[in-house]
């Protein structure tokens, strides 16, 4: 079949050329339309349920909402993890489904269960499924700037002008609104007046609700026409709201304005935002899952540009986070590496082939294979990102291998000058190598197949790498058997076929060196053995980590303050920290801090938690050489602010960590148990112990305990006498303390909630317990009492935060690791905690975070790589019909790996998943080189002459392809080794491993393999 393919291509050269042009065109189109993102979609199929229960404590919500809902949700099939975080007034339940689960099916399942139980949940529960986004969906953040607008105006502008406009952009799931004040029409009843009128709060509320609406009546016949009749009562202004009649009778008509203060107020604030020390309003664009980030950001920007003319004069949209910037920087880094790699590979080919035309023929496969890969990526739904494009860069060196083999053989055949027509020579040359080319490609594909079995984060990251490599290799293979022979037949002649002079000299030198080695192999064997031992020691000493941290270009500092802190106090500290950082670190362009929860509840932080988002200047404007030095400077400034826990992260890194483990940090120690106080004590003990382990920084024990509540117990005998119920009292008090939304006023597209709330000029919000106890309460029977008269007030302690996983409560201590590897750190940490922290019965620890991913990746690879090796062994056995020869080729692998390990150690990088992928790639190259060498020995086995001389001659003839394969791969990866921009961090360890490994594997292929082959042949003859 392969022969037919080659023959067809050579007989239909025009058709092949046209097909190549079409491939180029379609590939180019695919590239231009390919969704672009920084990372592949790493989120599992995840459904979030966010429920808000105003006024309820964490423990109460856990009992009345989280626990029943979890019980219901636990029954959903295909779920991998059920996690919940319950805080004051909110519970956030996250369900991860097993990979491959359809997100719409998953959401439907969750929705059904939720709908089934909603009636059993407390009346005040509001919320439901969160938008269909992933943790990477936060792609565009901005603040509204206008010195003439108040925070309320800015919030209204964002909420009612900008947000609806942005939500119409394709791919936008929602726009989260943070900070500022949500305007309300606030009704503050006068308890005394209500009591005089015998009006209860419920009646007041009912009067407002009943009158603030329009009702349809029907149609009335007017002769031959109809007239629509409706009742209009909807109010549109504060004044109209004041005029609503709440009591009418012999005593007179009482309007809302007579019994209450009606004024513009705001909803209770659960969070705030500051920008450069001033309170601000922030918009956060959340993209739909599977949307094209680049296109969404572009759409958002275009819509904002359109809106700019309609916004109040002087309004500026200050963008402080734009994922497109990271994408363009990261993709730019990789694209530049790709471009450089192509140039270097072409240069190397020209040098080795000694012929520009031959080099051009081979190089033709590079852009076309890349374009074909884009076409396949587009067809299979892969996005262009750091990982998939990185895969292409890794493959560049290997892409040319099959074309090199075809062209090199064509040149050799042309060189022999058999007198046959050129087209026929090309056909013979191509069909001769077709089978080895296919099996070589097959081996490379098998080598990378273990990556397709990785699960979890590493699977999501490296599957695109493996797929891209497979696509590229298949495309290169197809091109090498179709277009390349056609191009060779058109561009190569007999004059192109000579061997370059330097290559002839190199062959001579190699032959004499190999001859000496074959005569006295012991010295070389000892040398290589020693190097292998050294690499083994390096491997043991080397730090291990999951993944190098991608420099996202921005920095986030997470602050954790006293758990009982109020929002104004928290914002005040944020202001101070922001101002100090701006003054002390000029590399910061602007600082946006976010405290507390967002409106949607996607990230329900407490009032004591702040994310300090720092937009940095471009690195060439820094005083520091690296980001870690800059972080050090930031850390130094933050040391001036005691009383706060500090953690460092980046926008995507933070969300990915939260997605995977529910918390941020390189290492997490989870304490599972039942009693929250006991969990809190254990967490404190662990947090105190962790700093004893070298490398521990940013140790944070999430504050779970320390909530102080005021319990009001209604005096039953009095309550019964005056018709007071617990529900009635709590409704009344909620309106006094937090405010209750009872209706809304519509003004055009704006909807302004009407709230019952204290805080007017005449009725202040209670501010002490004594104040609250002495507050007048209008009882349902019209009498007036103080709260202290009808209820007893007691303090109670309770948890601030309750976290659960698969139905069990847990607390988490997070720690970042600095200056050492994560795996070694965790091993030491386990020992230290086992010695110093004693766990009561029923309590257990689990280690997670980045470490967890690394462990899982290692387990997966240790299982799958041997399987791949066995497969390769089988292919080799099928090729050579000899287990010994297959063994010799496989025996080359450790020597290839040693170069990778040594170079990794010397470069200071850790053994990470990318480095492991590099080692896997090395397997392929080492095996391919071995096949090239050993197959040639086998072909020459029947020639006359002494064995060493035969081996030398054979090896010498294979020197050029072996060196070409190695050097193209090395030069293809060199740009990645030296790339410094964001995005290079992930691929660099891989490139270092492959380059280092190729150096040693080339040496062992050229010298060790002939020695082993000689030894095997001697034994066979003996």
For residue 247, the minimal CB distance to another protein (Å) is: 15
Which of 79, 186 has the CB closer to another protein? 186
Residue 986: phi and psi, rounded to 5, are -70, -40
Which of 34, 669 has the CB closer to another protein? 669
For residue 113, the minimal CB distance to another protein (Å) is: 39
Rounded CA separation 549/628 (Å):
11
For residue 828, the minimal CB distance to another protein (Å) is: 18
Of the residues 569, 582, 871, 873, which one makes contact with another protein according to CB under 8 A: 569
Tokens representing 768? 């002490």
For residue 258, the minimal CB distance to another protein (Å) is: 12
Among positions 693-732, residues that touch another protein (CB under 8 A) are 697-699, 708
Which of 561, 988 has the CB closer to another protein? 561
Relative to beta strand 245-249, strand 740-747 is unpaired
For residue 161, the minimal CB distance to another protein (Å) is: 34
In order, the DSSP letters of 457-477 are: HHHHHHHHHHHHHHHHHHHHH
Note whether 21 binds another protein by CB under 8 A: no
Helix (H, G, I), strand (E, B) or coil at 960: helix
Q: Which stretch binds another protein (CB under 8 A): 231-239, 433-441, 642-650, 835-843?
A: 642-650
Query: Binding string to another protein for residues 769 to 788, with x set by CB under 8 A, is what?
Result: xxx--xxx------xxxx-x
Note whether 789 binds another protein by CB under 8 A: yes
Of the residues 580, 582, 741, 999, which one makes contact with another protein according to CB under 8 A: 580
- The number of residues in the chain equals 1022
Note whether 794 binds another protein by CB under 8 A: no
For residue 720, the minimal CB distance to another protein (Å) is: 15
Note whether 857 binds another protein by CB under 8 A: no
User: Chain centroid to CA 781: how far?
Assistant: 59
Note whether 623 binds another protein by CB under 8 A: no
Rounded CA separation 468/394 (Å):
10
Which of 246, 326 has the CB closer to another protein? 246
Which of 22, 192 has the CB closer to another protein? 192
For residue 662, the minimal CB distance to another protein (Å) is: 21
Note whether 644 binds another protein by CB under 8 A: yes
Which of 116, 568 has the CB closer to another protein? 568
Considering all CA atoms of the chain, what is the largest pairwise distance in Å, rounded to the nearest integer? Answer: 129
3-state secondary structure 851-885: HHHHHHHHHHHHHHHHHHHHHHHHHHHHHHCCHHH
Note whether 218 binds another protein by CB under 8 A: no
CA angle, 670 then 671 then 674, to 5°:
135
Tokens 């002490």 -> residue:
768
591: enclosing H helix or E strand: strand 588-596
Note whether 646 binds another protein by CB under 8 A: yes
Rounded CA separation 690/622 (Å):
33
Note whether 572 binds another protein by CB under 8 A: yes
Rounded CA separation 851/696 (Å):
14
Burial of 891 (0-12, 13-18, 19+ CB in 10 A): middle
For residue 581, the minimal CB distance to another protein (Å) is: 11
Q: In angstroms, what CA-CA distances link 478 with 2, 31, 600? A: 10, 20, 51
Rounded CA separation 609/814 (Å):
15
Helix (H, G, I), strand (E, B) or coil at 554: strand
Of the residues 762, 908, 942, 1020, which one makes contact with another protein according to CB under 8 A: 762
Note whether 195 binds another protein by CB under 8 A: yes
Q: Which stretch binds another protein (CB under 8 A): 283-291, 369-377, 531-539, 764-772?
A: 764-772
Note whether 211 binds another protein by CB under 8 A: no
Which of 88, 427 has the CB closer to another protein? 88
796: enclosing H helix or E strand: strand 791-798
Among positions 965-994, residues that touch another protein (CB under 8 A) are none
Number of residues that bind another protein (CB under 8 A): 53
Of the residues 748, 768, 942, 944, which one makes contact with another protein according to CB under 8 A: 768
Helix (H, G, I), strand (E, B) or coil at 289: coil
Of the residues 22, 74, 170, 192, which one makes contact with another protein according to CB under 8 A: 192
42: enclosing H helix or E strand: none
Rounded CA separation 61/53 (Å):
7
Q: Which stretch binds another protein (CB under 8 A): 138-146, 282-290, 389-397, 767-775?
A: 767-775
Note whether 564 binds another protein by CB under 8 A: yes
Count each helix (H run) and each strand (E run) in the chain, helices first.
37, 30
Q: Which stretch binds another protein (CB under 8 A): 30-38, 185-193, 746-754, 999-1007?
A: 185-193
Give the number of other Cβ atoms within 10 Å of residue 824's Cβ.
19
For residue 748, the minimal CB distance to another protein (Å) is: 36
Which of 608, 854 has the CB closer to another protein? 608
Of the residues 764, 867, 870, 906, which one makes contact with another protein according to CB under 8 A: 764
- The answer to whether 36 and 385 are in contact (CB under 8 A) is yes
Which of 293, 668 has the CB closer to another protein? 668
- The answer to whether 709 and 795 are in contact (CB under 8 A) is yes
Give the number of other Cβ atoms within 10 Å of residue 994's Cβ.
33
Of the residues 96, 159, 560, 603, which one makes contact with another protein according to CB under 8 A: 560
For residue 573, the minimal CB distance to another protein (Å) is: 6
Find all residues with CB under 8 Å of 570, minimum gap 6, and list them: 272, 561, 595, 596, 607, 608, 610
Which of 216, 642 has the CB closer to another protein? 642
Exposure string over 492-507, b if 16+ CB within 10 A, otherwise e:
beeebbebeeebeebb
- The answer to whether 550 and 330 are in contact (CB under 8 A) is yes
Which of 223, 642 has the CB closer to another protein? 642
For residue 580, the minimal CB distance to another protein (Å) is: 6
Which of 73, 757 has the CB closer to another protein? 757
Which residues are at the interface with another protein (CB under 8 A)?
190, 192-193, 195-196, 560-562, 564-566, 568-570, 572-573, 576, 580, 637, 639-646, 691, 697-699, 708, 762-764, 766-771, 774-776, 783-786, 788-790, 795, 797
């Amino acid at each position: 079949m392969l022969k037919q393919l080659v023959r067809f291509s050579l007989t239909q050269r025009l058709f092949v050329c046209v097909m190549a042009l079409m491939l180029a065109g379609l590939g180019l189109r695919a590239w231009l339309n390919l969704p672009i993102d920084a990372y592949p979609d790493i989120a599992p199929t995840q459904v979030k349920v966010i429920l808000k229960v105003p006024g309820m404590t964490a423990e109460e919500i856990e009992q009345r909402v989280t626990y029943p809902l979890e019980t219901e949700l636990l029954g959903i099939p295909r779920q991998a993890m059920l996690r919940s975080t319950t805080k004051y007034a909110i519970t956030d339940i996250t369900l991860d489904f097993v990979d491959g689960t359809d997100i719409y099916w998953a959401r439907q399942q969750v929705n059904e269960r939720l709908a089934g139980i909603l009636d059993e949940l407390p009346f005040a529960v509001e919320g439901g499924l969160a938008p269909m986004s992933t943790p990477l969906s936060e792609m565009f953040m901005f603040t509204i700037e206008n010195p003439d607008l108040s925070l309320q105006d800015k919030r209204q502008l964002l909420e009612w002008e900008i947000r609806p406009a942005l939500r119409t952009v394709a791919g936008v799931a929602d726009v989260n609104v943070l900070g500022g004040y949500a305007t309300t029409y606030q009704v503050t009843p006068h308890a005394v007046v209500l009591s005089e009128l015998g009006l209860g709060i419920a009646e007041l509320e009912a009067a407002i609700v009943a009158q603030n609406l329009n009702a349809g009546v029907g149609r009335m016949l007017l002769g031959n026409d109809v007239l629509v009749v409706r009742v209009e009562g909807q109010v549109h202004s504060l004044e109209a709201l004041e005029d609503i009649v709440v009591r009418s009778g012999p005593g007179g008509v009482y309007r809302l304005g007579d019994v209450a203060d009606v004024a513009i107020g705001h909803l209770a604030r659960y969070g705030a935002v500051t920008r450069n020390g001033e309170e601000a309003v922030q918009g956060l664009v959340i993209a739909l899952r599977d949307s094209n980030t680049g296109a969404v950001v572009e759409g958002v920007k275009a819509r904002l540009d359109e809106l700019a003319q309609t916004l109040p004069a002087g309004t500026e949209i200050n963008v402080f986070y734009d994922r497109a910037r990271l994408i363009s920087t990261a993709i730019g880094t990789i694209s530049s590496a790709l471009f450089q790699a192509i140039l270097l590979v072409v240069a190397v080919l020209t040098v080795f082939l000694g012929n520009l035309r031959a080099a051009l023929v081979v190089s033709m496969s590079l852009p076309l294979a890349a374009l074909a890969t884009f076409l396949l990526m587009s067809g299979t739904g892969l996005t262009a990102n750091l990982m998939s494009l990185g895969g292409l860069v890794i493959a560049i060196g290997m892409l040319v291998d099959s074309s090199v083999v075809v062209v090199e053989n064509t040149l050799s055949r042309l060189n022999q000058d058999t007198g046959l027509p050129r087209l026929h020579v090309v056909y013979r040359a191509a069909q001769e190598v077709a089978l080895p080319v296919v099996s070589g490609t097959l081996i490379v594909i098998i080598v990378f197949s273990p990556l397709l079995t990785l699960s979890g984060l590493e699977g999501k990251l490296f599957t695109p790498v493996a797929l891209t490599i497979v696509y590229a290799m298949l495309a290169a293979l197809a091109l090498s058997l179709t277009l390349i022979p056609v191009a060779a037949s058109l561009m190569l002649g007999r004059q192109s076929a000579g061997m370059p002079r330097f290559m002839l000299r190199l062959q001579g030198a190699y032959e004499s060196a190999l001859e000496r080695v074959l005569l006295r192999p012991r010295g070389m064997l000892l040398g290589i053995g020693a190097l292998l031992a050294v690499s083994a020691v390096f491997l043991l000493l080397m730090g291990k980590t999951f993944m190098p941290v991608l420099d996202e270009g921005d920095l986030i500092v997470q602050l954790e303050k006293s758990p009982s802190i109020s929002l104004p106090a928290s914002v005040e500290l944020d202001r101070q920290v922001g101002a100090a950082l701006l003054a002390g670190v000029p590399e910061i362009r602007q600082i946006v801090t976010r405290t507390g929860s967002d409106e949607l509840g996607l990230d329900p932080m407490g009032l004591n938690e702040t994310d300090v988002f720092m937009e940095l200047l471009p690195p060439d404007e820094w005083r520091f050489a690296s980001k870690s030095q800059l972080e050090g400077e930031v850390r130094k400034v933050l040391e001036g602010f005691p009383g706060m826990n500090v953690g460092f992260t980046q926008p995507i890194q933070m969300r990915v960590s939260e997605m995977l483990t529910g918390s941020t940090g390189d290492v997490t120690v989870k304490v599972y148990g039942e009693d929250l106080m006991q969990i809190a004590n254990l967490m404190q003990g662990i947090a105190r112990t962790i700093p004893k382990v070298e490398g521990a920084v940013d140790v944070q024990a999430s504050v779970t305990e320390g909530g102080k509540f005021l319990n009001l117990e209604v005096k039953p005998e009095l309550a019964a006498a005056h018709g007071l119920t617990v529900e009635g009292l709590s409704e009344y008090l909620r309106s006094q303390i937090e405010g209750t939304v009872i209706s809304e006023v519509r003004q055009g597209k704006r909807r302004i909630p009407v709230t019952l709330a204290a805080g007017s000029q005449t009725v202040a919000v209670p501010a002490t317990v004594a104040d609250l106890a002495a507050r007048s309460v209008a009882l349902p029977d019209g009498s007036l009492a103080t709260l202290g008269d009808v209820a007893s007030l007691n303090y109670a302690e309770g948890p601030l935060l309750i976290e659960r996983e698969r139905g069990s409560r847990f607390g988490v201590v997070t720690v970042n690791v600095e200056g050492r590897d994560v795996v070694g750190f965790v091993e030491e940490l386990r020992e230290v905690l086992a010695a110093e922290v004693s766990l009561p019965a029923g309590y257990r620890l689990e280690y997670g975070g980045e470490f967890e991913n690394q462990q899982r990746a290692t387990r997966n690879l240790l299982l799958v790589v041997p399987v791949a090796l066995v497969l390769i062994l089988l292919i080799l056995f099928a090729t050579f019909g000899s287990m010994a020869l297959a063994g010799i080729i496989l025996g080359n692998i450790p020597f290839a790996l040693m170069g990778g390990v040594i170079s990794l150690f010397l470069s200071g990088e850790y053994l990470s998943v990318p480095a492991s992928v590099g080692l896997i790639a090395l397997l392929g190259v080492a095996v391919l080189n071995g096949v090239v060498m050993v197959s040639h020995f086998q072909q020459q086995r029947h020639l006359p002459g002494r064995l060493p001389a035969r081996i030398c001659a054979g090896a010498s003839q294979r020197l050029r392809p072996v060196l070409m394969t190695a050097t193209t791969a090395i030069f293809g990866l060199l740009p990645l080794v030296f790339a410094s921009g964001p995005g290079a961090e992930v691929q660099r360890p891989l490139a270092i491993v492959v380059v280092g490994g190729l150096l040693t594997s080339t040496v062992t292929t050229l010298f060790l393999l002939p020695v082993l082959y000689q030894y095997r042949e001697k034994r066979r003859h003996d």
